[in-house]
Structure 1
Amino acid sequence: MALVELRGVCKSFRKGDQTITPLDHIDLDIEAGEFVSLMGPSGTGKSTLLNLVSGIDHADAGTITVDGTVVSELSRSKRADWRAANLGYIFQTHNLIPVLTAYENVELPTLLLKLSAKQRRQRVELALAAVGLSDRAEHYPRQLSGGQEQRVGIARAIVAHPKVVVADEPTGSLDTETTEQVLELLQRLNKELDITLLMVTHDTDAAQIASRPLLLDRGKFLEPAR
């Protein structure tokens, strides 16, 4: 059984008098430890798929199963509880809280778990070390570069030891050099820590670092984007 399974997943939205269907009976399996990238034109359902897998949104039809839990059958509140314990999310624009240090930003997801103060500290320190920012733990976001902010965001996504990490355009707001550094970091975390990654990107080069690039267009998967 794959770690992530989508079967017959559909999602539609109303826009004026039109019905838009970004996902039309989608099937997808992601194995534990895989790094999957999603490419496709704007509006083709890439971010929608991330939001469904992460339980932020709810599918109109079909089932979404992550590590044996049928996420698509959970209530909104139970999906939120499940997400806190099982999923990490990397945003395009970091979404760090400016009045908190790097350490405190990374610690936030652990506050929702039943961990002792010592266990939280150990996890935060390990996550910051994994992204190479142990020496920036007490810095505030305004004291960090864009690349460092994104690395804090990545540390925050992995600190709770999630079953899967989803990344929505994680390099979309970065320059070329910093993009390469962040992509190398994601690839290293995937290989060295066996983190399962599902990443949306518009960047063809970024997509190719994944072990399995996929192309999504008009609600369907097309041929792999290699």
Structure 2
Amino acid sequence: MSIVNLQQVSKSFSKGEEVITPLREVDLEIHAGEFVSLMGPSGTGKSTLLNLVSGIDRPDAGKVIVAGTDLTHLNRNRLADWRAANLGYIFQTHNLIPVLTAYENVELPTLLLKLTSKQRRERVNLALAAVGLSERAGHYPRQLSGGQEQRVGIARAIVAHPKVVVADEPTGSLDSETSEQIQHLLQRLNRELNITMLMVTHDREVAAIASRQLTLDRGKFLTAEDLAPC
């Protein structure tokens, strides 16, 4: 079953007098439970595509349908409600709030949902356990390593039981050993929790952990023939 469906999507931005078009009539279908990685040179539309799937940006043309909802014409309030219930986001730089503990950072997305305090507590504890940080729940970001901070960010992304998780360079700020640990964690969560994942990365080894790899260039997805050596 398709959970992400982009149909003939185009997106342009103005930069002074120049018009930049990072996506040109793009089609994309991702099935529930799939793990897709997205590569490509800088400025080729990877982050734009993530923002469209997340409802942060709107397409100039085409449709963006995620988890059964056409995001194209939702107003800001309805988009915020949809995002809280359906989407998790993993950032490259963690984006944790320094004055909140790991538990409180993970709890934040649940405050936007209609849950009892018991349900919130259960979800937060499960999410921290899933990333192996139950014993660090009361620690502040400054008391955690970079890898642990990213694990908190991942727990925050999955705590609301989203249908789709998007990850923007989730290992980009980590050393090679910690990056490998995070890669294994993402694979395990995708497999065990059946979470659909769309991940942007510049690293081919990181991209290879996904079940499907895509490459964007000049606003279009490259085909197998485009990628074949001459």
Give the structure-2-normalised TM-score.
Answer: 0.96
Q: Is the 8 A contact 2:67 2:86 kept in 1?
A: no
Q: Which amino acid in the other structure matches residue 156 of structure 2?
A: R
* Alignment match, 1:190: 190
CA deviation digits over 1:60-119, x for unaligned, max 9?
A: 111011121101121122111110111000000000000000000000000000000000
Cα distance between partner residues in 1 of 2:120 and 2:56: 25
Cα distance between partner residues in 1 of 2:185 and 2:204: 17
Q: Which amino acid in the other structure matches residue 182 of structure 1?
A: I
Q: CA deviation at 1:121?
A: 0.3
Q: CA deviation at 1:211?
A: 0.2
* Alignment match, 2:73: 73
* Alignment match, 2:57: 57
Consecutive aligned runs of 4 or more in structure 1 exceeding 4 Å deviation:
none
* Alignment match, 1:207: 207
Q: Counterpart of 1:154 in 2: which secondary structure?
A: helix
Q: Counterpart of 1:202 in 2: which secondary structure?
A: coil
Q: How does 1:31-50 map to 2 (within 5 A)?
A: 31-50=31-50
What runs of 5+ residues in structure 2 fail to find an aligned partner?
none
Q: CA deviation at 1:209?
A: 0.5
* Alignment match, 1:10: 10
Q: How does 1:18-167 map to 2 (within 5 A)?
A: 18-167=18-167
Q: Counterpart of 1:85 in 2: which secondary structure?
A: helix
Q: CA deviation at 1:128?
A: 0.2
Cα distance between partner residues in 2 of 1:50 and 1:7: 15
RMSD of the alignment, in Å?
Answer: 1.1
CA deviation digits over 1:200-225, x for unaligned, max 9?
A: 00001000000000000000000257
Q: Which amino acid in the other structure matches residue 46 of structure 2?
A: K
Q: Which amino acid in the other structure matches residue 31 of structure 1?
A: H
Q: What is the aligned length? A: 226
Q: Which amino acid in the other structure matches residue 6 of structure 1?
A: L
Q: Counterpart of 1:127 in 2: which secondary structure?
A: helix
What runs of 5+ residues in structure 1 fail to find an aligned partner?
none
Give the structure-1-normalised TM-score.
Answer: 0.98
Percent of paired sites with the same residue = 77
Cα distance between partner residues in 1 of 2:134 and 2:55: 31
* Alignment match, 1:217: 217
Q: CA deviation at 1:186?
A: 0.2
Cα distance between partner residues in 1 of 2:27 and 2:170: 24
